[in-house]
Structure 1
Amino acid sequence: MLPFDFDYYRPDTLQEAVGLLQYLEQEGKRPFIFSGGTELITLGRIDLATTEAVIDIKNIADCGVMQGSGDHLFLGSTLSLTTIEEANLFPLLTRIASGVADHTARRKITLGGNICARIFYRETVLPFLLADSQVLLIGPNGKKIVLINEIFNGELVLEPGEFLIQIATENRFIRAPFFSVKRRQQWDTGYPLITIAALKMDQQIRVGISGLCPFPFRSREVESALNNQGQSKEVRVEGALAVLPQPILDDVEGSSEYRLFVLRNLLFDMLAALDRG
């Protein structure tokens, strides 16, 4: 049970959801967009999240899309991670999603819920950052399509009243060689220490990392160092470590020094795997 009361709404259309969101915000109720509910339940029980109104968007058909059309794969924000994992339409995303929490939790956690979470890992965003995916949003001014790399800065930066409908990814990225590893210091389903994801496109490696900093990221500076083919692997890895975003996390999951040690080894493993591709 949650230690607070809230009004619950379950709209059937995007327009109804947008209208509700505007109305509730005007009423000062700080509405919570709800597609799986795991984060609200988890954080609400320990007084780290509260709301006076929930808008459950699982009934909206556009948010549950999972289909290929033309040169793109379209994935809706309310798809559960288990559904994505079982369909396996985007292998790198499947690998990342299958490592989030445990199987029972993944049946509830949704793609949009993970990407827009307050918990900072948000690792399912990594494949989309690497694939230059496009996001379909809706808000008071209607729908818009934006490159995810243009609006993701540690978190999905949305305008007031906007929410995520779908993510579109080109097939050429989906078919690209990839590398992905998650390292945990504790049990198999504990919080990750480091998650690394990489794609190789046009002989260039793209890298995304979660768990190192208090936000997931893709860094062009890190990629530039790793793709410097004129240098040894040691120089490339050390060059990448020298330009990492800051701060590096130092918490109960692992010290900053240990995180960097783990990342250094993962980068060598990644180069060994993708330099051959």
Structure 2
Amino acid sequence: MLPFDFDYYRPETLKEAVDLYQYSDQQGKQPFYFSGGTELLTLGRIDLAYTEAVIDIKGIPECNAMEVSGDQLLLGSSLSLTVIEEANHFPLLTKTASQVADHSARGKITLGGNICARIFYREAVLPFLLTDSRVMINGAEGKKIVPINDLFQGHLRLNKGEFLVQTATDLSFIHAPYFTVKRRQQWETGYPLITLAALKVNQKIRVAVSGLCPFPFRSSAVEESLNTQGQSLATRIDGAIAGLPQPILEDIEGSKEYRLFVLRNLLLDAVKALEHAQD
């Protein structure tokens, strides 16, 4: 139960959703786009989120897309992680998403909700960063399609009134060799320490990480070091560690030193798994 009341809207088109947002914003209602609702429910109960107008985008067809269009796989932002997992159109995403929270929660958590969440893990974004996916964004100026690596810098940098509609991933990436692991310090469904996803494309290993920093990331410096020829694996991983963005998280789940220890071992496992794989 949330400690505040709000108006609830369920638009059927992208334009209607934006119009409702603008109208509610003009009324000072601090409108909130809603898909799965887990973040609003969680943060609203502890006074970290507030709205007087919820705009539920689950009724918009584009937000529920799950289809191949031309040479791209389209996935709507309102798809739950469970639906994505069961369909298994994108194995790297399936495996990565299947490690988010527990089975019950994944039935409510949506793709867009995870990618746009305030919580810093946001593991579902990692496969899209690795595959140079594009995202469709809708706002006052209409639809726009942007490379996710341009728009996602620590978080999805949306303008006021914009929301994520769907992702588009080239099919050429879908069945590339991959490696993805989540390491937790404690129980099976506890918060993760590190989630690492890796993909081999054109004989190069790509890596994206969540849980190490206060944001998920893919780093060209890390990848350049891992793919350097003529060096030992230990030297390459040392270079990757040196190229990490900052700061490194240090909290109740694990110290900075422990997180780096876990990451080092995950990088070692990923390179060993993918180095000789044929893409």
Q: Does TM, normalized by the shorter one, top 0.5? A: yes
1:30-69 equivalences under 5 Å are: 30-69=30-69
Does the residue aligned with 1:193 lie in a helix, a strand or coil?
Answer: strand
Q: Aligned equivalents of 1:61 and 1:174: distance in 2?
A: 23
> Aligned residue for 2:240?
240
> Aligned residue for 1:19?
19
Q: Deviations over 1:140-198 (max 9, x none)?
A: 11111100001100100012211111100001111110000000001111111000001
Q: Aligned equivalents of 2:158 and 2:186: distance in 1?
A: 34
* Alignment partner of 1:168 is 2:168: yes
* Alignment partner of 1:216 is 2:216: yes
**CA drift at 1:15:** 0.9
> Aligned residue for 1:145?
145
- Name the amino acid aligned to 1:155: H
**CA drift at 1:28:** 2.0
Q: Deviations over 1:208-248 (max 9, x none)?
A: 00000000000001100111021110000000000100000
Task: Give the stretch that moved more between structures: 157-166 or 81-90.
Answer: 157-166
* RMSD after superposition: 0.7
- Name the amino acid aligned to 1:220: S
> Aligned residue for 2:158?
158
Unaligned runs of 5+ in 2: none
Unaligned runs of 5+ in 1: none
Task: Give the stretch that moved more between structures: 38-47 or 231-240.
Answer: 38-47
Does the residue aligned with 1:144 lie in a helix, a strand or coil?
Answer: strand
**CA drift at 1:23:** 1.3
> Aligned residue for 1:225?
225
1:119-134 equivalences under 5 Å are: 119-134=119-134
Does the residue aligned with 2:123 lie in a helix, a strand or coil?
Answer: coil
Q: Aligned equivalents of 2:26 and 2:224: distance in 1?
A: 46
Task: Give the stretch that moved more between structures: 42-51 or 109-118.
Answer: 42-51
For this pair of structures, how many residues does the alignment match? 277
1:75-86 equivalences under 5 Å are: 75-86=75-86
TM (norm. structure 2) is 0.98
Q: Deviations over 1:99-140 (max 9, x none)?
A: 000010000000000000011111100000000001011111
- Name the amino acid aligned to 2:273: A
Q: Aligned equivalents of 1:51 and 1:257: distance in 2?
A: 39
Does the residue aligned with 1:18 lie in a helix, a strand or coil?
Answer: helix
